[in-house]
């Protein structure tokens, strides 16, 4: 039997770019696969039902045209399965595609996916699995993420950015960040990484499977999605003026050298703190407490050479 593929398109991604690309991507994919199912995602619930049906029918590969949010929802179905995921980046951040070394141009990314299908190119990456007290210890209750989970200040920035209609792209995060600075509110944070346990008044925490969020901000600059570990960046309580001094260094990864910043590495970490909001892959996860563990090789990607170092 040949390759059974599904194409999931999030039409609104990239201010409608994904919708404009859908026909082209489908046409190109039909040259290398035997069966192709096409679905335009109008709601998360509708997409979930469609994906469950497609995967139960013996799907081999799932290609997503959209941003990190679209990839996040696809990861929930491809994680820990034989279904390989391909990404054609069309969003505002595209952090997963960037972490995998995929081209930023969606037309070039399509060619990478096509070559992977033609020649069997695959790469396995780790994923973060998130459990809340409500999900208990049942692994089936985990929520998966591929890039970064953040809590506190940066989660509030993410939440505010999602609500902005302007500006577009990564500039939304800059505007949201400035607005959240005015409402800065540090709080109690407990980070339990097994051998290391940190309790403090904190500003933010980020748990990285990959290095960057928010359109390329390397909050966990040394995170590697193939090393079986999570990188944790914690910012202690700081005054607004000091945080303003730290933030420019986020773009270069130099923030980790600041005395108010602590970094850890662990296979599993539990985060607790005053019902801090949490986001992963730019999608809301509710509030802490949360336990995050690294699951090695949990996701198979079509193509993508993960940059090292």
Q: What is the pLDDT along the chain (309 residues), one digit of tens a residue?
A: 589 999 999 888 888 888 999 999 999 999 999 999 998 877 777 778 888 888 777 899 999 999 898 899 999 999 999 999 999 999 878 999 999 999 999 999 999 999 999 999 999 999 999 997 755 554 556 899 999 999 999 898 888 877 777 776 667 777 887 888 888 888 999 999 998 999 999 999 999 999 999 889 999 999 999 999 999 999 999 999 898 899 889 889 999 999 999 999 999 999 998 779 999 998 999 999 999 999 999 999 998 655 444
Examine the domain organization and report whether 179 and 268 are in the same domain. yes
Query: pLDDT digit string (tens) for 115-137?
Result: 999 999 999 999 999 997 755 55
Q: Is 309 part of any domain? A: no
> Are both 133 and 114 inside the same structural domain?
no
Q: What pLDDT is recorded for position 92?
A: 79
Of 125, 142, 159, the one marking the end of a domain is 125
Q: What is the CATH number of the domain that holds 33?
A: 3.40.50.10330
47 and 113, same domain (yes or no): yes
Q: What is the pLDDT of residue 170?
A: 63
Q: Are residues 59 and 118 in the same domain?
A: yes
How far apart CA 138 and CA 132 sit, in angstroms, is 10
pLDDT value of residue 308: 41
Identify whether residues 61 and 174 lie together within a single domain.
no
Shared-domain flag, residues 275 and 143: yes
Q: Which long-range contacts (CB under 8 A, 24 or more apart) does 218-222 make?
A: 218/250, 218/251, 218/252, 218/253, 219/148, 219/150, 219/154, 219/250, 219/255, 220/148, 220/263, 221/253, 221/256
Last residue within a domain, chosen from 125, 157, 185: 125
* Spatial distance between the Cα atoms of 88 and 159, rounded to a whole number of angstroms: 24
Does residue 66 sit in the same domain as residue 27? yes
What is the per-residue pLDDT for 306?
55
Report which of 281, 288, 211, 296 is spatially closest to residue 252, judged by C-alpha positions: 211
136 and 62 in a common domain: no
From the number of C-beta atoms within 10 Å of its C-beta (0-12, 13-18, 19+), residue 151 rates as buried
**CA-to-CA distance for 83 and 60, rounded, in angstroms?**
5
Q: Is residue 307 part of a domain?
A: no
Question: pLDDT value at position 140?
Answer: 54
Residue 147 and residue 30 share a domain: no
Of 302, 242, 236, 305, the residue nearest 273 (C-alpha): 236
pLDDT value at position 309? 40
Look up the domain containing 59 and give its range: 4-125
CB 77 within 8 A of CB 52: yes
- Count of structural domains within the chain: 2
pLDDT in the model for residue 14? 80
Are 136 and 178 within one domain? yes
Q: Residues with Cβ < 8 Å from 166, sequence gap 6 or more?
A: 172
pLDDT at 167: 73
Domain of 291: which CATH number? 2.60.200.40
Beta-bridge partners for 272: 190
């Amino acid at each position: 039997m040949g390759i059974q593929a599904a194409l999931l398109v999030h039409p609104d991604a990239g201010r409608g770019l994904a919708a404009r690309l859908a026909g082209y991507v489908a046409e190109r994919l039909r040259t290398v696969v035997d069966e192709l199912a096409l679905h335009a995602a109008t709601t998360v619930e509708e997409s979930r039902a469609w994906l469950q049906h497609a995967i139960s029918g013996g799907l081999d590969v799932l290609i997503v045209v959209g941003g990190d949010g679209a990839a996040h929802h696809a990861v929930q179905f491809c994680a820990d399965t034989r279904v390989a995921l391909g990404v054609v980046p069309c969003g505002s951040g595209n952090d997963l595609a960037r972490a995998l070394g995929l081209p930023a141009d969606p037309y070039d990314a399509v060619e990478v996916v096509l070559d992977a299908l033609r020649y069997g190119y695959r790469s396995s990456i780790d994923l973060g699995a998130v459990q809340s007290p409500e999900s208990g210890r049942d692994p089936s209750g985990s929520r998966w993420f591929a890039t970064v989970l953040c809590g506190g200040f940066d989660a509030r920035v993410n939440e505010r950015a999602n609500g902005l209609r302007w500006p577009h792209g990564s500039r939304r995060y800059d505007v949201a960040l400035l607005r959240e600075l005015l409402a800065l509110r540090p709080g109690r944070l407990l980070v339990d990484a097994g051998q290391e346990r940190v309790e403090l008044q904190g500003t933010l925490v980020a748990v990285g499977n990959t290095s960057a969020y928010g359109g390329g901000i390397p909050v966990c600059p040394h995170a590697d999605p193939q090393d079986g570990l999570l990188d944790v960046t914690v910012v202690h309580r700081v005054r607004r003026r000091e945080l303003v001094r730290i933030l420019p260094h986020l773009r270069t990864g130099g923030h980790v050298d600041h005395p108010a910043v602590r970094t850890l590495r662990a296979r599993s970490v539990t985060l607790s703190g005053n019902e801090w909001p949490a986001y992963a892959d730019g999608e809301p996860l509710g509030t802490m407490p949360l336990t995050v563990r690294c699951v090695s090789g949990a996701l198979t990607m079509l193509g993508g050479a993960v940059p090292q170092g």
